[in-house]
Amino acid sequence: MRSTLHPIACAVILGLAVGGCGFAPGMYMSSLTDSSDIDIPVNKDGEPSTERAKITRITAPVVVEQSEMQRKLFDAFGRPPKVSYERYRLGPRDILSITVWDHPELTIPAGEFRSAEAAGTIINEDGTLFYPYVGVVKAAGLTVDQLRNLLIRKIATYIENPQLDVRVAAYRSKKVYVVGEVKTAGIQFINDIPMTIAEAVNRAGGVSEIADQHLLTLSRNGKVYPIDLLGMYENGDLQSNVLMQDGDILNVWDNSLNKVFVIGEVGSQRSLLMNKGRMSLAEAIGDAGGFDLASANTSNVFVIRANVSAKPEIFHLDVSTADAMLLADRFPLQARDVVYVDTAGVTRWNRVISQILPTAQTLQASTATHFPLWNGQTTTQINAR
């Protein structure tokens, strides 16, 4: 038997094929211009607005610029103001241990089962404390040495050559909050040992396994500052390792949002978690199984970046040559980037044909006995020969 397509079916195939890629399943990129054709919502200067994405070809200067982007991002938000170190100043709720030698009646005995905190002298909420023979004195705002000298002068009226010592039994007046992805989140009290940001993280037991070390936030006096903890550890960038102040909130974010999405003609379309907030374009493609060599158009690889607070961008890289992969290895991705590998033209054509053929065959079967040919025979009779 010989099978042929009915002329009507052939006409259908020819007509649909003229449309070509317009009927192809899946995504594909149209011809590139300097900007996108649609408006993208952004948050510009705190106000909702729209922008059109700029389309940029990935070149060596662009790679260098993107590598510096993270530093520029931190500078744009500003560095936390540096605080000069000064000796600890007493405040309300601090507990003091005051001892007058050779005068046990003035020293509250700790007792066998009482700690120094339980037996100490507490600075009141108004910053004052009471001590025998001295009365009420203002202690808040003074250093330990200043308070000691003040008490000695006051008590010298009643005791000749007093030997008096003041120590802080419990630091409770100044505190910071370390929250988020650390081993022990909660309140940390500032003591006489300077507490930097790195010290605060260490006192909290260090970061957890899912912490985003690349971006911490410090909230101080109504402003929020980004902190690059990884930059401190790996690059020695100590500009952000400032001293903590009373009331500071240090938040260690998790890395659940640090994902990039690889779609298109790759081995496995998937979302990828960025390791320590870092991933190159070549890494993303490699972790997704590489290019699908049977269908990928390696001259059209795109990185789509829909920034929330800045102009959206689309980067285009032609990796049809091997040396272009050097750029891909150096191009840094950002969280929430979408990497798209376009489809080859022949693959798109094959997909069009694969969708058209079932329709054409159905048309042939349904019209074979209804449309007689010029010699009085049907297509079924001809096919039976």
pLDDT at 111: 45
Domain 27-57+257-345: top CATH class? alpha beta
Distance (Å) of CA 214 to CA 196, 204, 234 = 17, 18, 11
Q: From the CB of residue 221, how many other CB atoms can be counted at a distance below 10 Å?
A: 8
Report the length, in residues, of the chain. 385
pLDDT at 1: 44
Give the span between the Cα atoms of 174 and 284, in whole angstroms. Answer: 46
pLDDT at 133: 86
Q: Is the dihedral of CA 9, 10, 13, 15 positive or negative?
A: negative
Give the span between the Cα atoms of 4 and 2, in whole angstroms. Answer: 7
Q: Where are the domains of the chain?
A: 27-57+257-345, 95-170, 175-254
Residue reference for tokens 């402003």: 223
Residue reference for tokens 């829909």: 306
Q: Rg (Cα) of the chain, in Å, rounded?
A: 37
Tens of pLDDT along 260-291? 999 999 999 999 998 877 899 999 999 999 99
Tens of pLDDT along 210-230? 898 888 999 999 899 988 888
Taking 70 as the threshold, does the pLDDT of residue 54 lie above it?
yes
pTM to 2 decimal places: 0.69
Domain 95-170: top CATH class? alpha beta
Taking 60 as the threshold, does the pLDDT of residue 178 lie above it?
yes
Query: How confident is the model over 14-38, as a mean pLDDT?
Result: 55
Domain 175-254 has CATH 3.50.50.60: no
Tens of pLDDT along 248-261? 999 999 888 889 99
pLDDT at 51: 74
**175-254 and 27-57+257-345 share a CATH fold:** yes
Query: How confident is the model over 86-99, as a mean pLDDT?
Result: 91
Contacts of range 80-84, beta carbons closer than 8 Å, 24 or more positions apart: 80/218, 80/220, 80/225, 80/227, 80/240, 80/242, 81/220, 81/242, 82/242, 82/243, 83/242, 83/243, 83/245
Tens of pLDDT along 240-250? 788 999 999 99
Pairing of strands 296-305, 338-343: antiparallel
Instruction: Report the DSSP beta bridge partners of residue 227.
Output: 216
pLDDT at 243: 92
What mean pLDDT, rounded, does the chain reach?
80
Query: How confident is the model over 184-198, as a mean pLDDT?
Result: 92
